[in-house]
Each structure stands twice: as structure tokens, then as C-alpha cells.
Amino acid sequence: MRAVWYERNGAARDVLVVGEMPDPEPGLGEVRVRLKASGVNPADTYWRAGTNAAIAHPRVIPNSDGAGLVDKVGPGVSAALVGKRVWLYNGQRGGRAFGTAAEYITLSADLVTVLPDGVSFAEGATLGIPCMTAHCCLLAAGPVQGRTVLVTGGAGAVGHYAVQLAKWAGARVIATVSSEDKAEKARAGGADAVIDYKREDVAVRVMAITDGAGVDHAVEVDAGGNLAATLACVRDNGSIAAYASAGAREPTVPIYALIRRNLTFQGVYLATHPHAARKRAQTDITAWLTSGRRMLPVAARFTLEETAAAHELVEQGGKAGTVVVEP
Ligand SMILES: NC(=O)c1ccc[n+]([C@@H]2O[C@H](COP(=O)([O-])OP(=O)(O)OC[C@H]3O[C@@H](n4cnc5c(N)ncnc54)[C@H](OP(=O)(O)O)[C@@H]3O)[C@@H](O)[C@H]2O)c1
């Protein structure tokens, strides 16, 4: 098969190699997917660059998410899956070296989900890390129906899915953004109120929007950078689920404020999030996708040979959705 790989950490153009590798064969409990699209997420570039940790395998095929057709199944997997259009996550995570920047991947059948009709492979490749993380953060402290949810970065890849899923789940949604374009996107995804976090006082605006009550739950893109503002937005006994913290990687947390206010602060990392929550996310995402209106933003499309350019675009920042490579 054609594949892209790296054998050392470094800049995309320096370490990503395009070449031929043997076609993988599905093992016990596995499916083989003929990949049509591979999603590039920020963490795929961190792992390649060595920002998260040094390379842990002799060779790594990057990119964790993807979509394609099941063309073979291993022992213990129903043959009914053969020919199904699927999306997948955790392709290059949890100890797995070979991700989705290739023509084929083999992985546990548990990690693939049937892609509903009308959702393209490129769109399917945006669901893994962004949509699964959004779901896991949104429901980290329980159901949100009838509750008010704050989504910071509500036009980002994860944040926009959090806005859409929260609305679908019956929550009132307040999103923060940094431009009018992003405000439009958040509103189109279902946000009931939008705050420009660079020009407005987020806590003051949230309190005004909620008549002084605060939000029940927050899905947080910058735990450290937004800590003071988000704590001031969440009501007593409320919760914050954070999936990133670029603004301050090791913030000082006012722990007694959390204790006295009965606040729950949860970190969410999709790759190792509890299995039951990830299964629930797969099921709910299917229900959401088939429920009608949804936006699955593909930020840009590249060929497999252009995987280095796809990584560079993600590293530049400012992508609007998920960057996709099409093997
Ligand atoms: N824990 C996990 O399992 C997990 C899963 C997925 C992603 N992540 C991480 O989450 C981060 C975002 O990923 P992504 O793919 O969603 O990126 P993205 O598409 O670039 O979206 C990030 C969004 O957050 C906004 N933003 C940045 N700082 C903000 C702040 N302080 N307050 C409010 N909004 C802010 C950005 O908008 P502006 O720049 O215009 O403000 C942008 O819209 C990355 O670091 C990624 O590695 C973690």
C-alpha cells in the first residue's frame, strides 16, 4: 500500500516519507479499512514533532482519524461489516503505531462506526478526535438537557461540534469566539448567545445572559488561559471539562474556590477516556448525524503525497474545521 510515515521526530517536510509498505492483514477482532480520508488534528502534529513525547515506535504512520470502506475482517468480527462505509478514531493512539495516512489500516472493530448515508468520507474523517472529544467533554458531568452550557472557542474543530451536540442534546448554549465570522459559525451551529472573548468581559456577559445564574457546565479549550473567567461563569455545584490549555500549561488553580463552590474540574483526553463514554459518544454521534441538520467542516483537502503540507497547515493555526488527506 501507499503510506506516509516517520522514523524520527522533526518538521513535517524533514521527516515525513511517502512510500510503499505491505498491506496490513486484520487480526483477531479487527477490521481492515480501505481509507478514503484521513483527518489531521493538532495532536498528530505534536506527536510527529516530538512536542508531546519522543517517538515510541521504530516507524509511525501519522494521523489518528479517518474514514473509508471495510474491505476485510479478522476472526471474531461479523462479515456483515465488509463493504460498510465507516469512520474511525484512535488509529494512531493508545500504543498503536500505524494511523490513517495510508491506503489501509487495520484496527479493533470497536473503533469503527458506520457512516450514515449522505455523510462524505472527508466529513467522516472530521468526526474522530473533534466530535468524540466534544461529546466526552459535553457529557462529562452528566446530561445537559435543560441546562446552560458554555463552549469556549465555539468555532474551533472541537468547539463547533460541542456547540452542535449541546444544542441537539437540549441545552441552552453560550459560545465564545474571536471574530464576527466565527460568531456566525457558532450561531449557525446552534449557539443561543455568542461572546467575543477578545473584546468583551466573558464573565460579565455570561452573568447578564443567564440573569446572574451562571452556566451549569463549560466545555473549555483553554483551561489555564481562561481559568479566572470560566470559574466566574460557572454556577456553584457546576462543572468544567477541559480538553486543552495552551494559554497557560501549568496554571495556579484556586483549589479552595473549587472546594467551597463544589465545582468539578475534569480533564478530558480522548485516547484514554473511559471506554463506556467513548461507546456512548459513537452511538450518540450516529443518532445526531441522522437527525438532520449538521455541519461537518472540512478545512482543506490534500492528497496522500501532500501530507506534509497538510501538517503544516494545521501547525499554522487558524484552520476552520479539520484538515483532511485523501489517500
Ligand atoms: N484532550 C483531547 O483529547 C483533545 C482532543 C482534541 C483537541 N485537543 C486540543 O485542543 C486544542 C484545539 O483543537 P482544535 O482542533 O479544536 O483546534 P482549532 O480548530 O484550531 O480550534 C481552536 C479554537 O479555539 C479558539 N481559542 C483559542 N484560544 C482560546 C481561548 N483562550 N478562549 C476561547 N477560544 C480560544 C480558537 O479561536 P481563536 O484563535 O480565534 O480565538 C479556535 O477557534 C488543540 O490544542 C488540540 O491539540 C485535545
Q: What does 9-38 look like in DSSP terms, one character per residue?
A: -S-HHHH-EEEE-PPP---TTEEEEEEEEE
Task: Decide if domain 130-271 falls under CATH 3.90.180.10.
Answer: yes
39 CB near ligand 1 (under 6 Å):
no
User: What is the per-residue pLDDT for 292?
Assistant: 84
Give the largest CA-CA distance in the chain: 61
> 287 C-alpha vs ligand 1 centroid, how far in Å?
25
226 CB near ligand 1 (under 6 Å):
yes
Q: Which atom of ligand 1 is closest in space to residue 130's alpha carbon? A: 6
94 CB near ligand 1 (under 6 Å):
no
d(CA 322, CA 327): 16
221 CB near ligand 1 (under 6 Å):
yes
- Which tens digits make up the pLDDT trace of 26-53? 999 999 999 999 999 999 999 999 998 9
**Residue with CA at minimum distance from ligand 1 atom 34:** 153
> 317 C-alpha vs ligand 1 centroid, how far in Å?
9
322 CB near ligand 1 (under 6 Å):
no
> 321 C-alpha vs ligand 1 centroid, how far in Å?
10
For residue 247, which amino acid is it?
G
Q: Indicate if the pLDDT at residue 293 is higher than 80.
A: no
Q: Indicate if the pLDDT at residue 133 is higher than 90.
A: yes
Q: Where are the domains of the chain?
A: 2-126+296-326, 130-271
d(CA 88, CA 114): 9
Q: What percent of the chain has pLDDT over 90?
A: 98
> 146 C-alpha vs ligand 1 centroid, how far in Å?
26
273 CB near ligand 1 (under 6 Å):
no
Q: Indicate if the pLDDT at residue 115 is higher than 80.
A: yes
* DSSP letter assigned to residue 229: H
31 within 8 A of 13, measured Cβ to Cβ: no
| DSSP 3-state of 65 | strand
248 CB near ligand 1 (under 6 Å):
no
Res. 222 pLDDT band, cuts 50 70 90: very high
Superfamily assignment of 2-126+296-326 in CATH?
Medium-chain alcohol dehydrogenases, catalytic domain (3.90.180.10)
Q: Indicate if the pLDDT at residue 97 is higher than 80.
A: yes
